[in-house]
Structure 1
Amino acid sequence: MPRRPGSSSVLPAPPVPAVHLRAEHARSDVTARVRSGSWTRARRGAYVDSAPGCDGRVDARLALARLVAVHRQSARPPVFVRESAALVWGLPLVAPPGLVHVAQSTRPSGGSARDVLRHVVDVPQEYRVTHRGFRVTTLERTLVDCAATLDPYAGLVVADAALHRGADRDRVLAILEESAGRRGVRRARAVVEAADGGAESPGETWLRWTLLRLGLPTPETQVLVRTRSGRYWADLGYPAARLLLEYDGAEKYGRDGVAAVEALRRERRRQLAVEDAGWRVLRATSADRSDPHGLVARVRALLPPAPLIPRPDLQPPLRP
């Protein structure tokens, strides 16, 4: 499948934040930095430089800082798994984990830290690797673990990004085969089947997931369109129907006013060229998340008539 030039990775992995351990600083120094707001508490005895707008809630940077702190405070470096491994790999997460996930071969003692969730699981050596200085599950094993334990959309975000970064699908399928009968494997199979390394953002993944779970045919990712003014790439599409689908997130046009206006102008010229070449373009935004059935109806109206075939294993969890 062709790929948009320069799309070798989803987003650069965020840098590993520097963590300051209380044991390495004078008590008065730690107190002063926390009171001044220059340091934010990552976990007990560990702090990270405060980021602009940081309010103490768990974001990806703070979650990664907590992981770093657990690594540095442990007598023996742990093996990070699930969402924590995804953080180390730099994979996007729908919701940063509030806990640090580690694997161990024996049951945890009652005195385990409350912000560390210790999973009693044997991670074979072939599925371990040191990445960015941390012991983690391989990219493929991380994909499977997240697909099996997260809800379908969150798991698909990780799976799409992992494949985009180079995870080997054959190895993923082999891990699933070895895991037959375990909890969550059925859902993981459905997520892996739907995963596509052509997705370049969680928004694009959400759009494709919505179409699939509500019964539309599988769209292609990274659709190449040739026009008189050049070649263009669309997020998703149905080439046989000459239909392109684009997810317009807030980050697409940037925050700078002048740059955003110019980006909108380029997007308008691009759409006119694509439409002149005989394609239709349907745009989805975050507003469509509140009415996914309406979005599917809009897309379905532009496709040849066909029955909807919903995918039960991709449905979101029921809310209590």
Structure 2
Amino acid sequence: MPRRPGPASPAQLNRMPLPRVHLARSYTRSHVAERVRSRAWEQVRPGAYVDALPGEEPHARRRRHALARIVALAEQSSGPLTFNLVSAALLWGLPLLIMSPQTHIVQRSRPTGHGALDVVRHHPRLPEEHRTTQHGLSVTTLERTLIDCAQALPPLAGLVVADAALHIGADPDVCAEILASRLRQQGVVRAREILALADAGAESPGETTVRFTLLQLGLPVPETQIRIPTHTGTFWVDLGWRESRLLCEYDGRTKYGANGTASEAVISEKRRQDAIEEEGWRMLRVVREDLRSRPSFLRRVQRWMPDVVLCPRPVLNAS
């Protein structure tokens, strides 16, 4: 589904600048040792360090370190390279469920010896039209990155990347062309399913996870970002099924209290839901804990959609 009007969701496009990286070759050994000993620097790869940020949220720290490894590798490398897969996704600002400790690159030449353990080198044919730059670094295009991740990552992780890529402007037709050129490759069936289910309307990995769970359970494909005019104004809801007049809203931890006090947010949300329900809609609220008990979650949905016909999607259940 198309996304709602306005700028890209910050949950789908991380505008974090590239971190400053300190290369050991630029300092004396004693200076590097002192910075590490005082915990002012943290090592991200051999010969490369970043400033320590006390109190940094763990996921943000892992993301910053992954970006720092990319920057360090680019500066330490003696030859041309292009970042791909999850490393390209990071440079595009896309969300990742899990931060890889390894950096992925496309490189024409093969290294002598075993190469660095924290680098995964790929040697596919990379047409020039599948290459661009982000932050001054060579990287696979948004569409190529989407397909690479959909083909290589587990289904949910691939869908999170695909949703976000479409949300910030990836062309689905170009994605389909890239995928069509990969017949018989490993992961193509999964990537085809992910591309078919990917939706530009998803505004966060949490929303994608809820939709993925619904699809994994065999429920009909929901519409995203449903516009609901009410007597108090027009509201947008994460996803739902118009024919059943059922809406589904993901309540993330940052939703309440993000602006103003938590109590004000709860009251505002209650008024919003009341106005929507007065228009004949029903609202199913979902939190992360609901997704841990799939049978219970399915029963909740089926109470509102008793005649729903489930359609198994085995590709989504593959690891």
Q: What is the letter of the counterpart of residue 208 of structure 1?
A: R
Q: Which residue of 2 aligns with 1:120?
A: 123
Deviations 1:123-147 (A, max 9, x none): 1111001111111100000000000
Query: Do the aligned residues in 2 keep the contact of 1:86 with 1:142 (CA within 8 Å)?
Result: yes
Q: What is the rounded CA distance, in whole Å, between the counterparts of 1:55 and 1:227 in structure 2?
A: 38
Q: Which residue of 2 aligns with 1:191?
A: 194
1:45 alignment partner, one of 23, 39, 47: 47
Query: In terms of mean alpha carbon deviation, does 22-31 or 41-50 score higher?
Result: 22-31
Shift of 1:246: 0.6
Matching of residue 245 in structure 1 with residue 248 in structure 2:
yes
Matching of residue 309 in structure 1 with residue 302 in structure 2:
no
Query: Do the aligned residues in 1 keep the contact of 2:146 with 2:165 (CA within 8 Å)?
Result: yes
Query: In terms of mean alpha carbon deviation, does 95-104 or 8-17 score higher?
Result: 8-17
2:25 alignment partner, one of 12, 23, 42: 23
Shift of 1:5: 4.2
* 1:56–1:40 distance in 2 versus 1, CA, 3 Å: farther
Matching of residue 276 in structure 1 with residue 283 in structure 2:
no
Q: Which residue of 2 aligns with 1:4?
A: 4
Matching of residue 64 in structure 1 with residue 90 in structure 2:
no
1:139 alignment partner, one of 138, 142, 160: 142
Can you give the 5+ residue segments of structure 1 that lack an aligned partner in the other structure? Answer: none
1:286 alignment partner, one of 275, 285, 288: 288
Shift of 1:100: 0.3
Deviations 1:177-225 (A, max 9, x none): 0111111111100000010010011110011111112110000000001
1:267 alignment partner, one of 266, 269, 283: 269
Tell me the TM-score normalized by structure 2: 0.94
Matching of residue 233 in structure 1 with residue 246 in structure 2:
no
Q: What is the rounded CA distance, in whole Å, between the counterparts of 2:304 and 2:62 in structure 1?
A: 39
Q: Which residue of 2 aligns with 1:170?
A: 173
Q: What is the rounded CA distance, in whole Å, between the counterparts of 1:266 and 1:177 in structure 2?
A: 47
Q: What is the rounded CA distance, in whole Å, between the counterparts of 1:239 and 1:56 in structure 2?
A: 39
Q: What is the rounded CA distance, in whole Å, between the counterparts of 1:106 and 1:148 in structure 2?
A: 24
Deviations 1:248-270 (A, max 9, x none): 111222578x6333222211111
Q: What is the letter of the counterpart of residue 141 of structure 1?
A: R
* 1:230–1:178 distance in 2 versus 1, CA, 3 Å: same
Q: What is the rounded CA distance, in whole Å, between the counterparts of 2:169 and 2:236 in structure 1?
A: 21
Q: What is the letter of the counterpart of residue 204 of structure 1?
A: E
Query: In terms of mean alpha carbon deviation, does 46-55 or 137-146 score higher?
Result: 46-55
Tell me the TM-score normalized by structure 1: 0.93
